[in-house]
Amino acid sequence: MDPYLRILGAAIMGALDPGFALLLIIFSPGELDKLNRADCLHSQVRRPSTVNIMSTMDIKHHPAPETSSMGTKESVITGSTAGQSPQSPPEASPPPDGGFNAWLQVFSSWCVIFCTFGLVNTFGVYQTYYEDALPDSSSSDISWIGSMQGCILLCGGMISGPLYDAGYFVELIWGGLFLIVFGQFMTSLCTTYWQVVLAQGLCIGVGCGIVFLPSTAIISQYFSNRRSLATGISSSGSPLAGVILPIVFNQLLQKVGFAWATRCIAFILLAVAITPLVFLRTRLPPSKHHRALVDTSAFKEATFLTFAIGGFFAFVGLYIPFFYIELFTLEHGLASRTFSPYMVTFMNAGSIIGRVVPPYIADHTGAPALVMATMSFLSAVLAFIWLGIRNSSGMVVFAVLYGMISGGVVSLQPAGVFSFTSDMSRVGTRLGMTCFVSGIAVLIGSPIAGVILGDGREARWNGLIGFTADCLLIASGLILATGYVALSRKRRMMRECELASSTEMED
């Protein structure tokens, strides 16, 4: 039955994108299982059992055991008792890849993403409010508050990643969520620009940076074959919050004012935070080695470097449509001032689907980087299509489709890092390094687009959109090369494993 389902899925997805069809047809479930086990099998075949070697050496070089005065035999291995064989160090059990507890961790991670990335996605409504509430501050000054949130959220992984590897997971979760809720309550009391910067920009940003990466990295401890899907489901909390929280703020702002509208969002965040505080826990013990902020061994891996650079170009251009679609719609007269803010809502709504479907395909193919490259390429294609849209219905369709496709790029970045990291004790540090690079990209992408836009003439808009598409095209090429090299390496290791296994059977 599986081949027919696979062909049907390829036909459906092929109608949307031929790349999906190619990926679905090439990989069979049996080959996928072999690829997922290739790293483990390769290490087992090339590294013989130390215990067996040591046992053989002991038998050859030690005399036969003698009977002691107590009538028991002493073992040839020092420190062990009779009848006991030397024990190898306990190895971690494989991820359960499902079950109630594993999916409970996914839901808890979803709640954290709701409170972090979802809250950052809500800043657009605050930007509009601060334009009138803080008349002495320019639009650029106000926008830096939201950029600060997003940058610290991603760059904070450089600190929280090594702390996660060192075993401070619970402390990071409690500390980060406390700062987020506390900062939101303090924002409701702000009346000046510098107060908003400290409360909403710095306090909430630091809280998001502390808690975001650990809640994402923990997925790798509970899932292997369905790791990309689990990561995608957890990341869907961001666009859902981007749909709900702005509507809550806008509706309450007219009825109860800014202070209580902000406090109501804080109470929502507090309620959502209860689940991860109670249930989110690591499955594996922390690494015994103290990790540095930067894993220097990653710089020796071409796959990691090209993937990080590709991610940088992707995040430079990825969020520009989110920041400028409302302004584009207004200046081109494609929607009224009351309807144009919902363009970002349409993007976030479409992103909910994009956070789940591409990771599902990535799990089926076993190649998250290749699927991420496809999503980046399709995002670039949509950006070029944006050049020719000049009506309201076209903008709505573009917003939904771009949200769906770009959501796949965001959700698959952690899965890509997981797939390139064989030592899971380093996954926090490496994910923090890639998040730092992405954070810098998010910080500079929007200001660069603003410089290109300038006075807002039509040629300037074309330059902004072209810059977005070019960045995404460069990203898709780099990530595609990374995924191809990684997949070829896995296949080569699989062939070595099969050859070694056949040789052992013949012997």
Q: Contact at 8 Å (CB) between 120 and 246?
A: no
| 246-271: average pLDDT | 90
Enter the pTM of the model.
0.70
At residue 197, does pLDDT exceed 50? yes
Q: How far apart are CA 142 and CA 197, in angstroms?
A: 9
Q: Contact at 8 Å (CB) between 8 and 369?
A: no
Task: Give the range among 107-111, 225-229, 259-263 with minimum mean pLDDT.
Answer: 225-229
At residue 62, does pLDDT exceed 70? no
Write the CA distances from 63 to 59, 70, 78, 79, 163, integer angstroms.
8, 19, 13, 16, 49
Task: Provide the pLDDT for residue 423.
Answer: 67
Common-topology check for domains 96-286 and 294-507 = yes
* Higher local confidence (pLDDT), 301 or 462: 462
Which residues pair with residue 73 across a beta bridge? 67
Coarse DSSP helix, strand, coil percentages of the chain, rounded to the nearest 5 percent: 80, 0, 20
Domain over 96-286 is classified CATH 3.30.70.1140:
no
At residue 165, does pLDDT exceed 70? yes
Task: Provide the pLDDT for residue 25.
Answer: 34
Q: How far apart are CA 455 and CA 65, in angstroms?
A: 90
Q: Contact at 8 Å (CB) between 109 and 280?
A: yes
| 148-174: average pLDDT | 83
What DSSP line would sit under 173-208, residue for residue?
HHHHHHHHHHHHHHHTT--SHHHHIIIIIIIHHHHH
At residue 80, does pLDDT exceed 70? no
Among residues 484, 477, 485, 404, the alpha carbon closest in space to that of 22 is found at 484
Q: What is the mean pLDDT of the chain?
A: 76
At residue 390, does pLDDT exceed 80? yes
CATH second-level architecture of 294-507?
A: Up-down Bundle (1.20)
Q: Which of 193-197, 430-434, 487-491 has the highest mean pLDDT?
A: 193-197
At residue 171, does pLDDT exceed 80? yes
Q: What residue has token string 């090594």?
A: 162
- Identity of the amino acid at 478: L
Among residues 303, 110, 86, the alpha carbon closest in space to that of 212 is found at 110
| 371-384: average pLDDT | 92
Which pLDDT band holds residue 500 (cuts at 50, 70, 90)?
confident
Which pLDDT band holds residue 485 (cuts at 50, 70, 90)?
confident
* Higher local confidence (pLDDT), 398 or 139: 398
Q: Contact at 8 Å (CB) between 205 and 151?
A: yes
Annotated domain spans of the chain = 96-286, 294-507
